[in-house]
Structure 1
Amino acid sequence: IHARALQAYRSGRTKSLAFRKEQIAQVGYLVRDHEQRIIDALKSDLGRPMLESVFFDCAAIAIEVRTAYDNVEKWTKAQRAEFNLNFFALSPKMKAEPKGVVLNITPFNVPVLMILSPLVGAIAAGNAIVTKPSEQTPAVSALLAELVPQYLDRDLYPIINGGVAETTRILELEWHHILYTAWWCVTPALVFVYESRGVTLCSFAGKNPVFVDPTYDVKTAAKRILWGRFSNAGQICLAPEYVLVPKEFQDTLVSAMKEVAESFYPEGPKKSESFSRIVSSAHAARIKRMIDETKGTVVFGGDTDVSERYIAPTVVRDVRPDDVLMGDEIFGPVLAIVPVKDVDEAIALVNAR
């Protein structure tokens, strides 16, 4: 597969802007033609509600496709380079060139987006790209392994499914660039590739803070924070992980969050069609342990069903900076509220981390 991708790239057909635009458009057609199958696969893997699947995956990819299709000529156009006046007559220019054969190792949390969005970018840049989807989302991985070859060049843009053994073998091959989006860990094999070959790796995770100012509308703050935290069952690296709030305002914020959570899931989150599930029972068990071990006070939620991959939307108040919830990224629907003296203490706490 790697050899075919390299041979196809060296054939030079990706240099054609018309070819790139045609392949970019094909990604859009794939999503348009099979949106319901994509939604069903995300429901199977993540218990994802339909609206979240459309918002996080299908609509987001449509925007990526339109942006790339409309701008690829501009992106590839030669740009005037800065130069010494002694070389004015030479009129030097800079032109972006494809890197070659790219490897994309994707995460489980937004699997369709993280497979197809880098694919669109690689096509626009004139690269070949080999994609290794997460083995934790088997329905999505199987679906895209079926559909992508039907719509795009099979040699330039293959998808390889498998687990750790396959990923380790893939990393032994020569790549011109590696995109690795991780939830919280980087494997030893990836570290070896980075240190021995100097290939770029991109690993993303977040322990994202929010500070709530008492002068801000508390209901609006509660809605925005809880939407960000509970969407996709908290499995988003940009989601709020903890809230810093002045001690005297904590009760007010907690009360608003209770009200908002009830409005989000009036029939209860476990029965709700608007609440996702954790990707696996192992991850659900890990989050349950964090809830069990926290020294903070559970305001609402805290219910778990590991066998069903269910973690209730949970808010925990009076969380100390050294609490278990403030260690590793939670990557689940659990929000820690950390009381502080004022904004200066909040900034100092964030900077110290």
Structure 2
Amino acid sequence: MSDPQQTDEVDLLHHGDAEVDDGLVDFAVNVRSSAPPEWLAERLRTSIADLAAYPDPGAARRAVARRHHRAVEEVLLTSGAAEAFVLLARVLEPRRAVVVHPQFTEPEAALRAAGHEVERVVLGKDFTLDPAAIPDDADLVMIGNPTNPTSVLHPEAAVAALARPGRTVVVDEAFMDCVPGEPESLAGVPGPGLVVIRSLTKTWGLAGLRAGYLLAEASLVTKLAAAQPLWAVSTPALVAIEACCSPAAVAEASAWAVELAAERDRLVAELTHRGLYVVPGSRASFLCVRVPDGLGIRALLRQRGYAVRRGDTFPGLGPDWLRIAVRDRPANDALLEVLGELGI
């Protein structure tokens, strides 16, 4: 277990989209496809007719509540998951804030931008969660599940064990719909101090729309809503949230997750056969891979037209780590062929 007091500096504001230039095949961004499915795109096009009216979040909020069997008062709609992290950082006043790494860097970046000191707990072997590693007096803990960039899915019981009186536990479930049936999700588990954040970006190809939501006890939702700008979520984003929380959309996402799992496992086997270390138990739409001279391999891949995500901007990783998105079989095979040409 690494020292939770570590203060090594990394570029917390570097994200996968910075890796992608014109002409590069994108294995860096964890979005399912380059565009939303046609049925959703049509709903979005139709929503343009209502842009003269101010956004009304009621229907979307009720849809999220039904989706997760929560009270409407426990739902806050946000302009993507990133806004949720910023709101939490501005509203909460932690004495001892802990971010569990490696994970998505925006939660820590938001806390630091709001003036909070942040401690890092870097997970050990295979990046699995040990609740005992969290300082007892931490009153704010942030963790991803499944975790970006490791693709590790922590057991629900392990994450729930982080909760205690006087502590807020924030769980970033942006990639939970990559897991068929979402068995380890805490989204439908109300509890004091438990906050779950969801994004529609990944599965539905909506990074440019900024659509997400937060689930928490009603009193915290009220405080966060008071800090949120008026009409923060646009009408098209509200339409997307409502549509993607419908039973038909949830079923479609689950079917995709099953297909993803099969192709992901095949890609893991191919990379492992080549002698690479892939973080075990990958359950999201990407793999975390240790490659000797990872930054050099990343550069060579770019020369051959492929973008992958560098790992050294994630606390707890380093220059020998890459994050590789799982695409369809032809695209994955093309990447494997190029890796073979590089001697991997």
- TM-score normalized by the length of structure 2: 0.27
Q: Which has the higher contact order (CA 8 A, sep 6+)?
A: 2
- TM-score normalized by the length of structure 1: 0.27
Rg comparison, structure with higher value: 1
Higher helix share: 1
